[in-house]
Amino acid sequence: MGSVVEIWNPIVSDIGVNFPFWFIAGYFVVVRWYVSVPAIVVLGLVGCFVDINRGWRVAAFGAVALLSVPFVVYAVLAIIDNAKYKRFQAEVHRTLDHDETVTGLALPAGSDIYFTDKSQTQILSVRLPVVTDIRGVRVTETVMWQDFSHVWQSTLAGDQIVGGFPCAAGFITFDNDGAVHECKLAAAHPFLGFALPPGTTLARGADQAHWNLHLPDNAGLVIPALAATAPPGATLHVTHNGRLESASSGNGATMVVRGVPLDSMNLLVRGDRVVAPLKEPFAVAGEMRPADTAVSIDLTTGDVALAGKNWWLSP
């Protein structure tokens, strides 16, 4: 029985991992090829051309053979693995030579299709040769199925109305019913009580009950419920019935609510109250408070109070 080398990390696991010595040696011969390959060449030259006795010559050639074995094994495994990969690719790939309906999608000739498995019952992606109608949406280039969210992801071929939204050419996701899950608006559009400006990116939440509305960098948005205007570049998180839950802005622009300058980077709406840090010094309860002080604003009365210590966690 060969020698055994034990690799054990007591911090990660109490179970040791045992590898034969020959496996470890072969592994390092291949990994450190920049050392072992020159050694093979040098030993081969020594065995062929250097004037040494027969015993040393045999030893040199033996060392060459021994060091070459891991590379031969690696090459054989690579060839086998490549053959398996090509066989798998053949099982999950098709290129259409004529127009055909595949798993419910009418696809043109030349479509390059990849399936999720060899049963070919679910498409993973299709590289389209021409603009194609997929679930009522005209797309181009590649369309991919996102199994986790059950939507199609592709490139919209020109501005068009999709699911009632005026979507701009470019990235889009939509479901099997043609309903938009994400797109950028090509024109102004009223949605959930907001007058969204062109360039707004709307994205449906994973729970299907929320929407994220990301404003363009050149236009703000009036929020009627707050009697305030969200700054350009802000993202509004709203429910499916239009109730604003929070707003966030990467640039931390000022958002004035009931006359209070708030930091739009992290603004929360909790019932009839808005909670956010001050963007600049402001008087609260008769005392001047510095920027970054968290305050709570009653939307009904306009009263301003200090928020709790962990205001972003409190419901």
Alpha-carbon separation of residue 246 from 125, 199, 273, 305 (angstroms): 35, 20, 11, 19
Residue 228: name the closest of 203, 204, 262, 202 by CA.
262
Q: Would you state the pLDDT for residue 4? A: 43
Residue 236: name the closest of 272, 205, 198, 278 by CA.
205
Report pLDDT digits (tens) over 62-87.
888 888 998 899 899 999 998 888 88
Count other Cβ atoms within 10 Å, centred on residue 255. 25
- Alpha carbons within 13 angstroms on the beta-carbon side of residue 198 total 5
Report pLDDT digits (tens) over 212-237.
999 999 999 999 989 999 999 999 99
Mean pLDDT score, 25-43: 87
Q: Would you state the pLDDT for residue 2? A: 45
pLDDT at 16 over 70: no
Q: Would you state the pLDDT for residue 53? A: 83
pLDDT at 3 over 50: no
Instruction: Determine the 3-state secondary structure of 183 from DSSP.
Output: strand
Count other Cβ atoms within 10 Å, centred on residue 209. 10
Alpha-carbon separation of residue 24 from 19, 35, 181 (angstroms): 7, 16, 51
Q: pLDDT band at residue 296, thresholds of 50, 70 and 90?
A: very high
Whether the Cβ atoms of residue 92 and residue 116 lie closer than 8 Å to each other: yes
- At 301, which amino acid appears? T
pLDDT averaged over the chain?
89
Backbone angles phi, psi at 214, to 5 degrees: -100, 115
Q: pLDDT band at residue 314, thresholds of 50, 70 and 90?
A: low
Q: Would you state the pLDDT for residue 61? A: 85
Residue 72: name the closest of 30, 41, 22 by CA.
30
d(CA 57, CA 296): 87
Q: Token digits for 93?
A: 């790939």
For the CA atoms of the chain, what is the radius of gyration?
32
Q: Would you state the pLDDT for residue 13? A: 47
Q: Would you state the pLDDT for residue 39? A: 87
Whether the Cβ atoms of residue 17 and residue 7 lie closer than 8 Å to each other: yes
Q: pLDDT band at residue 48, thresholds of 50, 70 and 90?
A: confident
Please state, for a pLDDT cut of 70, what percent of the chain lies above it: 94
Domain chopping of the chain, boundaries: 4-91, 96-169, 188-315
The DSSP string of 272-310 is TEEEEEBSS-EEETTEEE-TT-EEEEETTT--EEEPPTT
pLDDT at 303 over 70: yes
Helices (runs of H) and strands (runs of E) counted in the chain: 3, 30
Q: Token digits for 315?
A: 């419901």
> 188-315: what fold?
Inhibitor of vertebrate lysozyme, Ivy (3.40.1420)
Range ranked top by mean pLDDT from 27-31, 56-60, 108-112, 148-152 = 108-112
d(CA 16, CA 14): 6
Q: Would you state the pLDDT for residue 315? A: 60
Whether the Cβ atoms of residue 201 and residue 184 lie closer than 8 Å to each other: yes
Report pLDDT digits (tens) over 148-164.
889 999 999 999 999 99
Residue 218 CB partners (closer than 8 Å, separation 6+): 199, 232
